Structure 1
Amino acid sequence: MTPFRAMRRGYESRFEPVEKAVLAKVARDVAALLRDESGLGPAQRPERPWGPDGGPRPATPARPGAGPGGLRAPDDLSALGIPTDGELASLTGMTGVARVPSDPAALRLLPDASKDDPDVAAEFRHLTQADLARSKVTRLENLAELLDPRDAPERAVQQAGRHGAPPPVRVPREDAAAVAGALTDVRLVIAERLRLATDEDVERLTDEVMWDNEAGRDIPAVDDDRAATRFWAGVFVAAGYAQESLVEVMLADLRSGQRTGQPSDDAESDG
């Protein structure tokens, strides 16, 4: 992975294919964790407007008792059932029940607003958790699509760089803060899994990973705790490297008077 650098329309870095695939997978897993722990529910893909034969998708028939256009008549509303937390959140922007995440990793992303006043913490969670979780899920899923798009096979030929090299990762300036935030969320979850509680823990782990890389040591090809720790430590450091280099180039833009969305004088990469 190369550090991010400023380009005309944003920031650019080159990732190894395995780095993109792993970070995208972890970002999607963290998004799924947040959906489950916050009550948003699983992601739903938008329904395609065409049917299996390529023609228009047939309209969904109205249920008995439904009014024009398939809408239920008022006397049939009881059959709708009780909405889930996720459905309430999408309608009102708040959850019906202030669900406290049971997974410590999710709790690091959705922490209590007050450690001293449980009532304040519960009310704040009730009012804000749905919006906060939804925004985090969105930026995590967008990060995953940026690194490893689901339609990558169809786009590979058009986006291949010079001499057929994998295309660089390009982050538009207006999306840079969200990408950096998503990388931070990935690191927070991995830090919880690795039980990294202090800055000293993070520095020690980073030094170990960098030392192993310089020494050419590969991750052990065995399925044990040591191999798993080495793997997740590598992902943690890679996400941190990407996040820190992106933030550094964003700050450099700000120091030079560059503002989000304004083009710079740097030449665009030819890939």
Structure 2
Amino acid sequence: MSGFARHRRSRLIIANFTGFEADLLRSLASQLVELLRNEAAVPSDDRDPFEAMMDFSGPTTEPEDPVLARLFPTAYPDDEEAASEFRRFTEGALRDGKATAAVTIIETLEEAGLPPELTEDGLMIDVELDEPTAEIWLRSFTDVRLALASRLGVEDGDDDVWAALPDEDPRAQAHDIYEWVGYLQETLVEALTTD
């Protein structure tokens, strides 16, 4: 995989993934969707649309899961009441937006030819994104990286710690995935800003 680039003629943003890479991205996006939708903060989808739109009964406390706490930080750390009210009015919609963005990655990969079960060696997936879809992917990459960083305990300036881990250490492998998603994110930003 060479990252994202802007096609000279069509102006679409393109990338080529091996079947393994595409399946890994689908898995990461799926895990993010599951995390976002499995906690009680998400309202039921069977409500009246107007009622759902006017519902401000979202969560009022910080999520217990460290990944969710990182994805939805406290807006007013020095004012518990204001933080609670802000979270109540915003977190549900933010969760839905993040889940929808991750689903966009899954759907785009599957529309590009990624089968439900990856069984074929040598499969290549060519992805073409218009700018709005590329921006959705970019936001979701940020969420995936934050989730991985939270689970791994990645901190600024700790590159030497990760480099010292043996290759067979599962944490080193997970950190490699974190770095890879960062690379994808970086090339996507470059492609979006290229005229």
Report if the CA contact (8 A) 2:149-2:178 is conserved.
Answer: yes
Select the residue among 177, 182, 186 that pairs with 1:244: 186
Partner residue, 1:6:
6
Deviation, 1:102, is 0.8
Structure 2 Cα separation of the partners of residues 89 and 107 of structure 1: 27
Consecutive unaligned residues of structure 1, counting only runs of 5 or more, are 45-82, 155-163, 221-225, 254-271
Percentage of identical aligned residues: 28
The separation in 2 between residues aligned to 1:250 and 1:150, in whole angstroms, is 20
* Within-5 A mapping of 1:139-150: 139-148=101-110
Decide which structure has the larger Cα Rg and report it.
1
The one-letter amino acid paired with 1:22 is L
For residue 133 of structure 1, report the CA deviation from its aligned partner. 0.9
- Indicate how the Cα distance of structure 1 residues 118 and 250 shifts in structure 2: closer, same or farther if over 3 A, else same: same
Q: What TM-score comes out, normalization by structure 1 length?
A: 0.60
* CA separation of 1:233 and 1:94: change in aligned 2, threshold 3 A: same
Matches within 5 A, 1:109-128: 109-128=71-90
- Summarize the alignment of residues 1-271 of structure 1 with structure 2, pairs less than 5 Å apart: 1-7=1-7, 8-37=10-39, 39-40=41-42, 90-148=52-110, 152-153=114-115, 166-198=124-156, 200-201=157-158, 203-204=159-160, 208=163, 220=168, 226=169, 228-253=170-195
- Quick one: structure 1 residues 170 and 94, their matched pair in 2 at CA, closer, same or farther if it must change by over 3 Å? farther
What's the CA shift for 1:174?
Answer: 1.6
CA distance in 2: counterparts of 1:27 and 1:232, whole angstroms: 15
One-letter code aligned to 1:181 = R
CA distance in structure 2 between the aligned counterparts of 1:238 and 1:101, rounded to whole angstroms = 27
Name stretches of at least 5 consecutive residues in structure 2 with no aligned partner.
Answer: 117-121
In 1, the alpha carbon distance for the partners of 2:30 and 2:11 equals 26
Shift of residue 248 of structure 1? Answer: 1.1
Amino acid at match of 2:126: P
- Whole-Å Cα distance in 1 between the matches of residues 21 and 161 of structure 2? 19
Aligned length in residues: 188
Amino acid at match of 1:191: A
Tell me the distance in 2 between the aligned counterparts of 1:247 and 1:174.
13
Shift of 1:170: 1.6
8 Å contact from structure 2 (residues 22, 114) kept in 1: no
Does the CA-based 8 Å contact 2:6-2:191 persist in structure 1? yes
Could you list the per-position Cα deviations for residues 149-175 of structure 1 after superposition, in whole angstroms to 9, with x for gaps in the alignment? 598449xxxxxxxxx962312221121
Pair 183,131 (structure 1): closer, same or farther in 2 beyond 3 Å: same
Normalised TM-score (structure 2) = 0.82
